[in-house]
Structure 1
């Protein structure tokens, strides 16, 4: 199992705006923190200078974009080129503002299927990042399916990023969610929080050792540190994180 840290969430994240303002300084902290790689958002990796710095300094576990970034074929081709430049074989997509209905998720599944086909041609895996809405039963669906269920029914080869905080926010047990999806995941966001919102790693309600035990019953490729807000002690936070996941 290897560890990564998410960088570049429009000023949010463990390192705030640092990855966007001074990527080299951010990567110095990543290296000092003992991470094997980074997961990068498009605002960090979407320009040639960022791609060159990342390729020179570290491994990129995944590029994380939004579905809207890749709907147009020309834009998808551009991002496939970025993935190639990064030497990265995983694309993660998130979706926001979805119509919470079976029809809405079937429409999204059509978009994901088209992206998956293009990525398979390039030798890249596609993952979908679930937030709370995708893990919550859809209204007016007699089978009580969730959005993620509809997506995987339509696109069986779609892989899933399990985010421990968003599972908790959906009212689910994070470790049980890891168990449910581990056969087609292997890529986990370890993010802490309570039902009231996100918290710094180790300060919320997520039982990370139990989540890790659940994940390790199948193949674990990456465990990624993510949180919404920065910290006054990044190296101390990184030490706490690795004490859990590399025990």
Structure 2
């Protein structure tokens, strides 16, 4: 598989402080367009869905994913699907929705049951749920990372993987290997770099723009191409500079790397649900 520049999206969580009002939305999405992005992923939608749809259409932006908490999927299932249809987006995305004050393993089985029930309900629709990982899922569970156990237990329900490259590496995994492991089941990957910072005698792992840290992007992008990933989505939880500059640096690096590695493709046509 090859990637068109239109398949490089941005998770708007990175720009969350600039995404609170109608005017913020218009300003932020216009700047995203000016950088070169043609696709966005929502962490929340602060204005009416129909207004958002109209803005997206006017700017010729597609939506590669929408974060939806499990509580909304359980209590407002039909309404969520109507919103997804209006945004012409196939992928519902989210991370662990359990009690973060308790250990991941203590709530894992209940969460697997709940998310599997949602996956089964989605089977009769055009939509799919893709689970976003962090690094706490790399605690040991039955002799392997809990994330591997989670994906195994939810496979039958059609739950997909949204692999976050930073958090895989933060948890001690190899992002390229994890993407390859779930070939055909990873429609979206989140790309952000992991850098090492030494300050006042302490060494820390920190977020960085793609290409500015220590991750092996050649192997990650090759694995993504071989594993039929549809969307390469930039996300940076914390930026040490203007977030718009951060997402521009990451976009420019990814597009350049795709070309250098011979993974580029022609423009990808948008498809309706």
User: Would the TM-score normalized by the shorter structure come out above 0.5?
Assistant: yes
Please identify, of 178-187 and 212-221, the stretch whose mean Cα deviation from structure 2 is larger: 178-187
Give distance in 2, aligned partners of 1:186 and 1:84.
Answer: 18
Aligned counterpart, 1:108: 111
Corresponding residue to 2:208 among 175, 199, 202: 199
What secondary structure sits across from 1:210 in the alignment? helix
Whose Rg is larger?
2
Q: CA deviation at 1:117?
A: 2.6
In the alignment, structure 1 segments of 5+ residues that lack a partner are none
Please identify, of 227-236 and 170-179, the stretch whose mean Cα deviation from structure 2 is larger: 227-236
Residues 109, 155 of structure 1: 8 Å contact kept: no
Residues 163, 179 of structure 2: 8 Å contact kept: yes
Aligned counterpart, 1:88: 89
What secondary structure sits across from 1:182 in the alignment? coil
Q: CA deviation at 1:121?
A: 2.5
Question: Does the C-alpha gap of structure 1 residues 38 and 124 become closer, same or farther in structure 2, counting only changes over 3 Å?
Answer: same
Q: CA deviation at 1:183?
A: 3.0
* Structure showing greater relative contact order (alpha-carbon pairs closer than 8 Å, 6 or more residues apart): 2
1:133-175 per-position Cα deviation (integer Å, ceiling 9, x unaligned):
223323xx3x335144234324432110111100011111222
Matched, 1:183 2:184: yes
Corresponding residue to 1:23 among 22, 25, 39: 25
Question: Does the C-alpha gap of structure 1 residues 137 and 52 become closer, same or farther in structure 2, counting only changes over 3 Å?
Answer: farther
Give distance in 2, aligned partners of 1:35 and 1:19.
Answer: 16
Give distance in 1, aligned partners of 2:48 and 2:208.
Answer: 28
Residues 9, 233 of structure 2: 8 Å contact kept: yes
TM-score of the two chains, using structure 1 as the length reference:
0.84
CA-based RMSD of the aligned residues comes to 2.4
Corresponding residue to 1:71 among 71, 74, 95: 74
Residues 55, 86 of structure 1: 8 Å contact kept: no
Give distance in 2, aligned partners of 1:95 and 1:218.
Answer: 24
Residues 49, 86 of structure 2: 8 Å contact kept: no
Q: CA deviation at 1:225?
A: 0.7
TM-score of the two chains, using structure 2 as the length reference:
0.77
Question: Does the C-alpha gap of structure 1 residues 108 and 236 become closer, same or farther in structure 2, counting only changes over 3 Å?
Answer: closer
Give the length in aligned residue pairs: 236
Q: CA deviation at 1:187?
A: 1.6
Question: Does the C-alpha gap of structure 1 residues 60 and 89 become closer, same or farther in structure 2, counting only changes over 3 Å?
Answer: same
Matched, 1:144 2:167: no
Q: CA deviation at 1:16?
A: 4.2
In the alignment, structure 2 segments of 5+ residues that lack a partner are 196-203, 261-273
Residues 175, 220 of structure 2: 8 Å contact kept: yes
Q: CA deviation at 1:107?
A: 1.2
1:4-26 per-position Cα deviation (integer Å, ceiling 9, x unaligned):
1111x3xxx1x342233411111
Residues 182, 227 of structure 2: 8 Å contact kept: no
